[in-house]
Amino acid sequence: MSQRPLRVLTGIKPTGVPHLGNYVGAIRPAISASNAPGVESFFFLADYHALISTHDPVRVQQSTLEVAASWLACGLDPARVAFYRQSDIPETTELTWLLTCVAGKGILNRAHAYKAAVDRNRDEGEDDDAGVTAGLFMYPVLMAADILLFNADQVPVGRDQIQHIEMARDFGQRFNHLYGSHFTLPEALVEEQVATLPGLDGRKMSKSYDNVIPLFAPREQLRKAVFSIVTDSRAPGEPKEPEGSALFDLYRAFASEAETTAMREAYAAGIAWGEAKERLFERIDIEVAPLRERYNALVADPGAIERQLRDGAARLREEVAAPFLRELRSAVGLHDLSRPLAGKAAANEAAAAAPPQFKQYREDDGRFYFKLVDGDRLLLQSEGHDSPRGAGQLIARLKREAGAGLHHVEQVGVHLGGDLIGRLGEAVAVEQLMEALARFAEAEL
Ligand code: TRP
């Protein structure tokens, strides 16, 4: 396979003008990562997704504009990265349907967002699906299409989105298994220590707590917000602790190391809260004033943003999405009637090229399990192990011994050298398991 740069894809939900917490925790790091060498970055505004949570067209349009302008104002450079609006690439919805037809409904039933809605309904004595649109239910498939359409290698997400990336892998894998290898299976890139910024009341800055400082607030409004940050009652001259001080954490998110050290010393020396707030305000303003200015200029000229987004999408459609969809359509049989397809045999051959995989996981009983799957077919389901290491060692042994020493005892399970290791998947013969294991040994050679 030819070496291509690592492709990183970031989806942005249009939720309106960002606050300082969004800037420090998400926008600033994402833009700075997009400048790293050797990565190819895709950023898109997930406006199809927005339709799931709001039915207010004015709000959809307005939020999309605000979010596009925000990211551009913060330095996202459409000359270096692909920047587009999801709905400008209608191949996304076409792919959503192709994936819908391989996605397991049971998997979607288990999606956190959907399950939470069902649980709420149950708590309230409502019908399970009351108020749940099929859009909410299908959200993970649309998201998988966003990712698989561009064969992204990595998708930076928060913890709450990991399950969606796993589903994208699952749908992509099923498709590959059925129709040959078309999709790269994406990985979630989880930023373990995302900078969370405290808000005005010291809790995490979040719209739902109503404690945010808007990123592009005019200078005077920013000043007022900073001065309303909650502090304790220590008087000027009394030493103050940086630990647990929201004011200090905010300062540090913007300041250099030297500035942070100076502020730490000022705290110890008993800086007055008013003075500390003044310094914080000036420090934030130095960084955000140019962004604010750019933001205001950008929203004042929506036509320019519209052109930029359309240009970005048009290029991607032509070069990537449209040709890829042609390939996929033909893979599933939506194909020129005058040209016979190679048919199932070729597809099976392609699918057979995708190797079987071991998957490790932990069950609710606290024990560690693995299974061997070939596409969506379960070949072997392990017994529980006390540690992930125990499961891992057995997997290594199975791969190494490539099916030698395996035997199956009816009603009991699969043994390896005398130890019970698990049971076969439904309608799987032990010979099939051995064949699959032999492929691991071949791969080693
Ligand atoms: N679900 C993501 C969120 O809530 C937004 C999103 C939609 C996304 N499609 C995506 C993120 C594709 C990454 C890749 O934040």
Q: What DSSP character marks residue 13? A: -
pLDDT value for 40: 95
Of 54, 87, 164, the one to substitute when testing ligand 1's pocket (max ligand atoms within 8 A of C-beta) is 164
| Pair 11, 42: CB distance under 8 Å | no
pLDDT at 364: 85
For 127, other C-beta atoms within 10 Å of its C-beta total 11
Ligand 1 centroid distance, CA of 305 (Å): 21
Distance (Å, whole) CA 367 – CA 167: 23
Number of the ligand 1 atom closest to the C-alpha atom of 146: 12
Of residues 411, 412, 403, the one with CA closest to residue 430: 403
Alpha-carbon gap, residue 55 to 301, rounded angstroms: 25
pLDDT at 341: 84
Q: How far is the CA of 180 from the centre of ligand 1 (A)?
A: 26
Atom 14 in ligand 1: residue holding the nearest Cα? 11
Specify the ligand 1 atom closest to the Cα of 46. 7
* DSSP-assigned beta bridge partners for residue 382: 422
Res 44: pLDDT: 98
Chunk the chain into consecutive blocks of 10 residues (it has 445) and report each block's average pLDDT, rounded to whole numbers: 78 94 94 91 97 96 97 96 97 98 96 96 97 97 98 93 96 96 95 82 94 97 97 95 94 96 97 97 98 98 97 95 96 92 64 76 89 89 91 88 81 87 89 84 60
Would you state the pLDDT for residue 3?
Answer: 57
Between CA 28 and CA 371 the distance in angstroms is: 40
Beta strands of 289-376 (E only): which ranges? 357-362, 368-374
Per the structure block, which two tokens stand in for 133? 């649109």
> What pLDDT does residue 1 have?
42
CA angle 361, 365, 368 (to 5 degrees): 30
Query: Pocket residues for ligand 1 (CB within 6 Å)?
Result: 9, 11, 13, 46, 49, 143, 146-147, 155, 157, 161
- What does pTM read for this prediction? 0.77
Burial class (CB in 10 A: 0-12, 13-18, 19+), 282: exposed
- Distance, CA 340 to ligand 1 centroid (Å)? 38
Residue 16: per-residue pLDDT: 87
- Single out the residue of 17, 403, 410 nearest to residue 207, CA to CA: 17
